[in-house]
Chain A
């Protein structure tokens, strides 16, 4: 009973938050609502007994992705009001295309069948939750069965990073950079000078 109430609470807030992400006028508010959504989705995961995924959602999505979004929204000068200005004009044609797509999807999935051979072919059946902890089950799949693609995705991310640096990093002249070695190696003689100042006269530095 309590679980059902909590489920509906989380779900309602999640859907409300998701709606606000789209309709909020201020993009910063959108990102904040997105964070609310992430937290509620994490709550739903906990209800399902997948506490590892819940923690991951909070740590990765709230901690990293949402902060990144926040940076982008605040650094890019995007006028969202202007972007939305043609909304009403494009609504009919957009809605028409959407309707066509929905009709096509219904046609495809209405006739959807699953191969009778599927139960034997199933890639990785879900293990019995009473036998194994879900964090451990995920780890076994990720680092044993999928270690090849795990490493491959690491390389993809590395290439993305190299690419970002190659395309954007510029060595600019005249930028003051901190050099810790030079700071530490500084002697008193370099930094301090004793000057006797005559009364009513300034000092040339």
Chain B
């Protein structure tokens, strides 16, 4: 394998080849190929995750410096591919039941995963943009794949229009940075920017603002979060589960790389943007979620809040901060998939229900589901010793050691407010009078995802070593360590 020149590109090559092959399989097979294509897509994602995990952690650039493989991209890719595979596991039964099972669904998911892995491996403004577009375009289609539902169509259209706007902002910002430095390559830009570490010229600051705003849109950080609740609510639930997991982490990893690598020496210029966005996201995520009645909208606001906490780590702008971001996002993805596995089981009399009131008394009718959702909610609220607590611990520690005390204090206060609505769900499930029970589950997919997620969340404190060590190596690779 060492002689293979394109070895660092292996995960991308696997995904691209399997995406194209599965498209052909789906188009030319007799009968309904959806189940097989779905299964093969999950297998391809797992193989790609294995390829990414076994890659050499040394930094390698490829393709005239457009593509970089290092420990950071390796870490992000493994989580992205596994989360995408889990989202496909969640989707299979649901899509068939609701009558929009089509083989294009797993194929588009694979292309989205390919886009995400290109994003986290981007080492050039052009490859950054193309990876982002490949991912976004697949997601727009997935959001409205249930084309007979007006809500899904509205969600897709809204996501598309706002996403196109943010892509425009990204390109404008990138062109300002290019206009100043004359280069699109991250390393060259970094070299140019070190001469200006005292304070960037106003044009570059504009460029940074535009690029960060566009990427903040992609991670749905406030004040660029307006699309999130509507899209999460309107899109089919498995698609929402996918949106809230892998793409979030990919966009966050991309934001970290862009700010730390090419613009690393201008940390004084971008830190205030990140701090502002983080505070606003944490507050909006906490306060706006309180009034929600739909569980999907609640999860949307919860994801906005979580992005805010992760950005606290980025605001620190050093190695511990980036490690905090990675640990936080990885844990968040796992908890979130667990919560959505329960939401996907919320079906009564053959119809999906999605209000929080429908969960009343779940502990007596379906104790396993209630237990799983309870673990996810406690963990999201950051109650020790669950995994979510450690995620918050790492980012707040990084913020404190970087001297951002105000940010850390606001973060802790916001998570207290957030705990209210997470615990309210637990209260509704365990102490309210039961409403009629949900229908029996029809497949093992959600149950399996829920089990894995709950065990991880519950027992993370016993063995935090591997994840934290991997995140430490990954963060170090961004800082040339």
Contacts and interface: CB of A to CB of B under 8 A. Distances in A.
B471 to A, nearest CB: 27
A121 B192 contact: yes
A173 interface: no
Contacts of A162: 23, 104, 107-108, 111, 141
Contact of A117 (B145, B179, B192): B192
Given A121-B188, A144-B64, A113 B140 contact: no
A114 interface: yes
B362 interface: no
Given A152-B131, A155-B16, A114 B182 contact: yes
Nearest to B207: A108
A192 interface: no
A113 B64 CA distance: 28
A159 B141 contact: yes
A130 to B, nearest CB: 24
Given A118-B192, A160-B137, A162-B107, A146 B126 contact: yes
Nearest to A109: B203
A205 to B, nearest CB: 36
Question: What 6 A-B pairs come out closest when comparing CB atoms?
Answer: A163-B141, A148-B63, A118-B182, A152-B130, A121-B183, A122-B182
Contacts of B96: none
Contacts of B67: 148
B166 interface: no
B118 interface: yes
Interface string A126-164: 000000000000000000111111001101101110110
Interface in B52-103: 62-64, 66-67, 102
B127 A148 contact: yes
A123 interface: yes
B202 A166 contact: no
B134 interface: yes
Contact of B114 (A109, A117, A155, A168): A155
Nearest to B145: A166
Given A108-B203, A159-B138, A159-B141, A123 B108 contact: no
Contact of B181 (A118, A156, A163, A166): A118
B137 A159 contact: yes
B213 to A, nearest CB: 15
20 contacts: A108-B202, A109-B203, A111-B203, A115-B195, A115-B196, A119-B182, A123-B182, A146-B64, A148-B62, A148-B64, A148-B67, A149-B66, A152-B131, A152-B134, A155-B111, A156-B137, A159-B108, A162-B141, A163-B138, A163-B140
Contacts of B203: 108-109, 111-113
A167 B63 contact: no
A127 to B, nearest CB: 16
B130 A108 contact: no
Interface residues of A, number: 33
B230 to A, nearest CB: 19
Contacts of A174: none
B320 interface: no
A116 interface: yes
Contacts of B124: 149
A147 B124 CA distance: 13
A153 B126 CA distance: 10
A167 B130 CA distance: 22
Contacts of B126: 146, 149
Given A149-B124, A156-B133, 13 more contacts: A108-B206, A113-B201, A117-B181, A121-B183, A121-B192, A123-B182, A123-B188, A152-B131, A155-B16, A159-B108, A162-B107, A167-B141, A167-B145
Contacts of A152: 118, 127, 130-131, 134
Interface in B218-256: none
Contacts of A149: 66, 124, 126-127, 130
Interface string B99-127: 00010100110010010001000001011
A166 B102 contact: yes
Given A145-B64, A163-B108, A123 B114 contact: no
B136 to A, nearest CB: 10
A165 B147 CA distance: 12
Contacts of A166: 102, 104, 108, 141, 145, 147
A123 B104 contact: no
Which of A111, A155, A168 is most buried by chain B, counting CB atoms within 10 A of its CB? A155
B180 interface: yes
Contacts of B107: 162
A159 B110 CA distance: 11
Given A162-B23, A162-B104, A166-B102, A113 B111 contact: no
A42 B181 CA distance: 30
B195 A117 contact: yes
A117 B196 CA distance: 10
A111 B62 CA distance: 36
Contacts of B133: 156
B191 interface: yes
B205 to A, nearest CB: 9
Nearest to A112: B203
Contact of A159 (B111, B118, B201): B111
B130 A156 contact: yes
Nearest to A160: B137
A72 B13 CA distance: 37
B303 interface: no
Given A117-B195, A162-B141, A156 B134 contact: yes
A24 B147 CA distance: 37
B400 to A, nearest CB: 35
Nearest to A117: B192
Contacts of A114: 179-180, 182
B144 A167 contact: yes
Contacts of A117: 181, 191-192, 195
